[in-house]
Structure 1
Amino acid sequence: MTVTESVLDTPAGTIVGRQVDRVRRYLGIPYAEAPTGARRFAAPVPRARFPQPYDASRHGATSQRVPLSATTTIPEPSVPGDDVLNLSVTAPAAQGCPVLVWIHGGGFLAGSQASPWYDGRAFARDGVVTVTVGYRLGVDGFAPLDDVPANLGLRDLLCALAWVQENVAAFGGDPDRVTVAGQSAGGAAVLALLSSPVAQGRLRRAVSLSGGLFDVDPPHEFLAGLGHRLGVPPTRAGFGRRTPEQLQRAVRDLRGDDSLVLGPVAGDDILPVPVAQGLTAHGHDVPLLLGATGDEFDGDGDGDSERGSRAAGTRITDTLFRSACPRTAAARREAPVGTWLYSFEWPSPALGGAVHCVDLPFFFDVLDAPGVPEALGPNPPAELATRMHADLVAFVRGESPGWGRATGRLGDPAREYGRPLAADTRGLYDPVTGGEPC
């Protein structure tokens, strides 16, 4: 292994990263000014050009100060610092490459762009530039407060996409071939951006893994309770007297079993209407690949129980995740560029099912990453990672998936990963419940 310094002159300034063999990494590059002081609870301000060479040899600060729980499936390191609006670029030693912009999940409350599961080395090997983006979370990113622009986290992502358009060519990427992808809350953010009139033209292709139509009603009651818990009024000034860590801990403690308390809200310039409605009018020039895992949050390792809960059609998996797939396909039925569905069905022996997040090491082809044995067991199928990663790379390159398009109707084809069948596509999504059709 040969490690050398890699210096780039970019519109953002001189950036100094590292090259390991033929993979170049530039970590923690600020794309906006630090959201502190007067910039906290304000729209992101694009970062000024670096006056000196910027050292991009280590991951930047994360918005996550505390994880959602003591243990998480994905390794999600919290990195201290104020410059949380940063991104990292992993690139091959080539030019004119397609670009994958990755948005991490975490319920809009947590998550980390520094996770080793988001390492883009396999994409670089296959000629794709990967950009992983950090954005504001929780109250700082998604609380609708008076005198505060709504959807600050989405505004951060739009600012990052503008940075990519301006700078990615210097890293060997093609700004005209940008795919925006994400998982869980990140996948929901992709669908939100796809539905936004402001985001039109910022993305050429889109991928939503275990995302959903996760815009929320304005959580005024929750914010009032949060303010009471913290001893401050639920306002910009009141919450501004508490640190992001204090806010994140309080939100985590107060939300209890609620899976989504803060997230994108409709009614501003970013999301004038709910995401499901916006998808009928916008993004029809953007090919979309989306899907979910078979069990998401309902895996228990008991095959009979699993089949019973699937048949009932009342699972969290159906309600929050799988139902979004046919609903999105139906909203995009008139889109001439196509919508394609997949379903991840490989049951992790360590976690008792095809549960939330276990598909990520396969799509990124990083089965050797830290935390993978704990989540997937000692021998996850390498051939499945090869196949899933190749499908994603082909989509990012501009190819159409090798199975039929979805329209939101019963029996829509979907690529199935991880369960041997005579054919690898079948109708997996009921357009009413989101479960398997009868």
Structure 2
Amino acid sequence: MTLDTPWTATVNREQPLPEHPRPQLVRPGWTILNGPWSYAVTPFVDGDPTAVPHPAGAPRRWRGEIVVPFSPETPLSGVVHQLQPDEILWYQRRFTAARTEGRRVLLHFGAVDQSCRIAVDGVEVGSHTGGYLPFTIDITEALGDHRSHTLTVAVRDVTDNSWLSRGKQRTRRGGIWYTPQSGIWQTVWLEELPTVAVDRLVLTPHLASGEVEVLVESAHAAPGQEAEVTILGPATDPSRRGSSLAAPQGAVTRRVRVGVPTRVSLPAPIRAWSPDDPFLYDVEVALGEDRVTSYVGMRSFGVGTGPDGRPHLLLNGEPHLPVGLLDQGYWPDGGYTAPTDEALAYDVELAKSMGFDTLRKHIKVEPLRWYHHCDRLGMLVWQDHVNGGTHYSDAVVTAPAIASPRIGDRRYRWFGRGDAEGRESSRSEL
């Protein structure tokens, strides 16, 4: 039996989820690669759970088409096949891109569960392990002198048969455990940008002083090179904002050195972000020929003493009691992947309309657009770390809650974390 959502029939299978996948750092010159890809499933056995065959070894015969970015286990993928630990899921499609002097072409994956290797025109360009985080590959050199290219992705997902993070997925679903999600489950896209460009932008609000700490990172910038940063007061695009719009508050422009955290003072009065007034300041950054846009909310979180003399959670310096829901982020038609961006925002909007101001994202990392919707709608997020590890004894895990023994982390073998790879993977994801 298949359960549909109100958005199932509205999915454009030729290009689902066409919205920009990274609202926190937007520039012109991007192309979505979602839609029909060729796919195949082949047998593969290796004791290393992260081992994936070379992507140049793609099968000559393909099983059919899969709609990316929906996992093969889901109805919206058009496949409905649960990938097994001893299988490889292959993807392939054509795309157009050209190598141009002074510019780069980046290939972005929102998330691929669990381990993958990627090739362009049969040449491996990158790999990744970990099913919840975005990763980027510079494919400029692989493009050669022609415009039409073949992109191949080989994926292996052993789910709960290793120490790799998997959340609530289990090979044999049941009880509180859910059907596994394999392969590409977030947007795949291309981005063309100048050689010298903003690779990373970190905006840290300091509400008490009315400042934003700006960090611009660029791997190809010259030593001492500066970027021009402009922070705008008014909300210019209601689709990116909460419903409350203020009168223009002016703009401030500063030059900041690449790689050096720099505080920029905002004109008073400062408008704080809160669930009741989710105001966001627009941010524009220019570095050489590169132009990007972003946003920042002026807010502070912490723990402090309230009027009753007891410790409280503080939002913008005032005691705040979060009223929230546990949000697991599963869809009956798309699994880990919302069928549309409207659907992705709907759960946040519904929770707000019911009086909630907090969502605990339960052992899953969502696409960046989900966090963007929370920013603009005024929803606080408590983010879980995605669990992994091998099998453990229920008695050992429940004992501390009953007897409260002093158990140091050196006893990690008791809790299914006996291998160094699993512990290092957990640390790196944190």
TM-score when scaled to structure 1? 0.26
Higher RCO (Cα < 8 Å, 6 or more apart): 2
Larger Rg over CA atoms: 2
Question: Whose helix fraction is larger, Structure 1's or Structure 2's?
Answer: 1
